[in-house]
Every structure is written in C-alpha cells, then in structure tokens.
Amino acid sequence: MTNALTRAWTELVRPILQRPKRVQVAALCYRLGDAGKDVLLITSRDTGRWIVPKGWPIDGMDGPQAALQEAWEEAGVSKAEVETRATGQYDYVKGLDNGAEATVETQVYLARVIDMQADFPEAGQRRRKWVSPQEAANMVDEPGLKDILRSL
C-alpha cells in the first residue's frame, strides 16, 4: 500500500500541484516629459490596485503585439512604439475565475506612447494615471515590477 501511495503522489498529485507558470505579456507604457519618463498605470478591474496593462498571449500575435493590444483595451493607447525584446519579467499570483490561484510570469515590453484615446474598450472599468517611475514603483504591489520601474 505504501508503494501505491508513493507512486500516486509522485506520478499524479505532485505534478498537478507543480504546474508550470502561466505566461502573460505586459506593456510598460511611457512618455517623455520635462522631468524625464512618465509611466502609465491603470487600475485592475477587480481590486482597483495599480498595475500595468497586461494579459494572456493572443493567437497570431507575438509578445510585443499582444502587449500593445492589452494597452489599447485596458488603457486606450492607440499608437505606440514597442520594443521587440522584453525589458524584464516579474511573477505574481493571479486569482482565476474559478477561485483558484496561479503563478504567472509576466513578460514586460517597453512601449513609447504616441497617441491615446479617451474612448477605449475598458474605459468605464479602469482609471489611468501618468506618474514618475519611482512613484509608480511605490504604487504597484509586485516586487519584480517595482524593480523594473525603478530601473527606468
């Protein structure tokens, strides 16, 4: 019986508990102001905490393209120049619709904002705010994102 339990743990239970991280893409939107870079933060729809636009990969789009799509839907960024390589990544725990939680690795792409719109898909569900990278680092919760913001 002990061998059967050990085998069940090793082959069934442990692999389920140790699922690989899920991956999201994020747009770290910025603009150049008189005092240097300002970054764009938005509120999450569920808790209202400050975050950067992010979401799941999109079929047919690479990471930078999907990050820009999220920036449009969540923040109204209608035109931006995005870097093709991620500037960094951070992990966070995301609450899923079914009540479970998943560790998510988020690839962050820098996007220099050229144009924004007041009317965008999630305009009624989020607030947006331009702040300095240091202020943004103090506003977000995720330690890895704080580090990326401070490095700007």
User: Per-residue pLDDT tens for 94-104?
Assistant: 888 888 888 99
Question: In sequence order, which residues have a C-beta less than 8 Å from that of residue 15 and are 6 or more positions away?
Answer: none
Residues 6 or more apart whose CB falls under 8 angstroms from that of 30 comprise 37, 38, 39, 40, 110, 111, 112, 113, 133, 152
| 20-150 CATH, one of 3.20.20.70, 3.90.230.10, 3.90.79.10, 3.20.20.20 | 3.90.79.10
The pLDDT value recorded for residue 99 is 84
pLDDT higher for 104 or 12? Answer: 104
For the ranges 19-23, 36-40, 95-99, which has the lowest average pLDDT? 19-23
Quick one: tokens of 108? 């962050």
49, 130, 105, 94: CA torsion to nearest 10: 20
Structure tokens at 52: 């950067």
Instruction: Look at residue 73 and give its three-state secondary structure.
Output: helix
Say how many residues make up the chain: 152
The yes-or-no verdict on residue 147 having pLDDT over 80 is yes
**pLDDT grade for 25, boundaries at 50, 70 and 90:** very high
Helix (H, G, I), strand (E, B) or coil at 63: helix
Residue 38 has pLDDT above 60, yes or no: yes
Provide the pLDDT confidence category of residue 41 given band limits of 50, 70 and 90. Answer: very high
Could you tell me how far CA 30 lies from the centroid of its own chain?
15
Least confident residue range of 45-49, 90-94, 98-102, 142-146: 98-102
Report how far residue 79's alpha carbon sits from residue 117's, in angstroms, rounded to the nearest whole number. Answer: 9
**What are residue 140's phi and psi, to 5 degrees?**
-85, 160
pLDDT of residue 34: 85
